[in-house]
């Protein structure tokens, strides 16, 4: 074994760790264009959904209704600047005339998720929201994403279930495997399974670290690891159904583009019946 071999052995021995931290969340704003009764009903739903946060973090909820409180996006952004909430709750097609368009989230939500640093929770409208006792974290890069997991841990109630989901793109993997198969001197039969093992091993180790840390902190949540190769969007939708997830937690911002991160936008469009926390 040579220098690179041993360096790989030692790099592999370094396991990812999870750093749990308190959540600074005591003030949330509900942004809606529903009428007063609809807004109040939605606020009640939010309190039920975020039962744990409401009881543990003493969450105060302010409702900003259109057109009573704001009429356009710049005005809304100004109000949010004044209120400085730690969480914005809203729903699709704000100020839109067609509430049932399936292929878009509406310009207000698109702007909110990209221009405001505050996490945005996208709520379904007209759906009864149960308590978020089964929270699913969805990403294609889970390892080391403490912020994502931390939010999910804080939202999940004690005795609740935390579903940590990491799907590696099967098509991309197959493409790399095919390229390796075209390279002489690379034992493809040996390398490809090892690549799969290491690729999935990292998030699995990270989830193990999350479990260990929660146990140390006496947080009684059941952690369910869901790590696999597959077609991400379709597989996430399947897993949501299989595990009866009540809330999804996803990353929204992509430092390389202005538009919403591709996977979270796709999930937000597809899973319209489910609340999504967009970080």
Q: Which residues bind another protein (CB under 8 A)?
A: 1-3, 6-7, 9-17
- Going by the DSSP 8-state scheme, the letter that residue 245 receives in this structure is -
Q: What's the rounded Cα separation, in Å, for the pair 126 and 107?
A: 20
Residue 1 or 37 having the CB closest to another protein: 1
Question: Minimum CB separation from another protein for residue 206, in Å?
Answer: 11
206 contacts 108 by C-beta, under 8 angstroms: no
**Maximum alpha-carbon separation in the chain:** 71
Question: Minimum CB separation from another protein for residue 142, in Å?
Answer: 17
Residue 10 or 103 having the CB closest to another protein: 10
Residue 11 or 102 having the CB closest to another protein: 11
Which residues sit opposite 137 in a β-bridge? 164, 249
Question: Minimum CB separation from another protein for residue 137, in Å?
Answer: 21
Which whole-number Å values give the CA distances from 225 to 129, 163, 195, in the listed order? 24, 6, 20
Residue 53 or 192 having the CB closest to another protein: 192
Which whole-number Å values give the CA distances from 109 to 65, 95, 96, 271, in the listed order? 14, 10, 11, 15
Question: Minimum CB separation from another protein for residue 213, in Å?
Answer: 11
Question: Minimum CB separation from another protein for residue 12, in Å?
Answer: 6
Q: What's the rounded Cα separation, in Å, for the pair 44 and 46?
A: 5
* Backbone angles phi and psi of 7, in degrees to 5: -60, -40
Question: Minimum CB separation from another protein for residue 46, in Å?
Answer: 37
Which whole-number Å values give the CA distances from 92 to 1, 31, 217, 237, 274, in the listed order? 57, 11, 37, 19, 12
Asked if omega into 67 is within 30° of 0 (cis), the reply is yes
Residue 203 or 232 having the CB closest to another protein: 203
**Per-residue b/e over 3-14, b at no fewer than 16 CB within 10 Å?**
eeeeeeeeeeee
84 contacts 27 by C-beta, under 8 angstroms: yes
Residue 2 or 256 having the CB closest to another protein: 2
Residue 13 or 37 having the CB closest to another protein: 13
Question: Minimum CB separation from another protein for residue 16, in Å?
Answer: 7
């Amino acid at each position: 074994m040579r220098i690179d071999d041993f360096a790989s052995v030692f790099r592999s021995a370094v396991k990812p760790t999870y750093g749990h931290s308190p959540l600074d969340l005591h003030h949330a704003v509900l942004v809606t264009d529903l009428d007063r009764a609809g807004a109040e009903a939605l606020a009640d739903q939010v309190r039920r959904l975020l039962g744990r946060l409401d009881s543990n973090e003493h969450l105060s909820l302010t409702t900003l209704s259109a057109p009573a409180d704001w009429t356009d996006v710049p005005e809304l952004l100004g109000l949010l600047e004044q209120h400085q909430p730690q969480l914005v709750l809203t729903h699709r097609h704000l100020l839109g005339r067609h509430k049932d368009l399936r292929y878009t989230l509406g310009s207000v939500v698109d702007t909110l998720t990209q221009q405001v640093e505050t996490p945005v929770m996208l709520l379904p409208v007209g759906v009864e929201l149960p308590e978020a006792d089964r929270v699913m974290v969805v990403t294609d890069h889970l390892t080391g994403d403490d912020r994502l997991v931390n939010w999910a841990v804080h939202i999940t109630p004690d005795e609740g279930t935390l579903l940590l989901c990491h799907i590696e793109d099967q098509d991309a993997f197959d493409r790399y495997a095919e390229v390796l198969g075209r390279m002489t001197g690379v034992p493809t039969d040996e390398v490809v399974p090892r690549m799969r093992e290491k690729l999935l091993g990292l998030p699995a180790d990270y989830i193990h670290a999350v479990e260990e840390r929660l146990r140390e902190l006496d947080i009684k949540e059941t952690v369910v690891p869901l790590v696999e190769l597959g077609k991400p969007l379709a597989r996430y939708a399947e897993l949501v159904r299989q595990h009866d997830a009540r809330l999804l937690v996803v990353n929204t911002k992509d430092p390389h583009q202005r538009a919403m991160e591709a996977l979270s936008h796709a999930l937000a469009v597809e899973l319209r019946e489910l609340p999504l926390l967009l970080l």
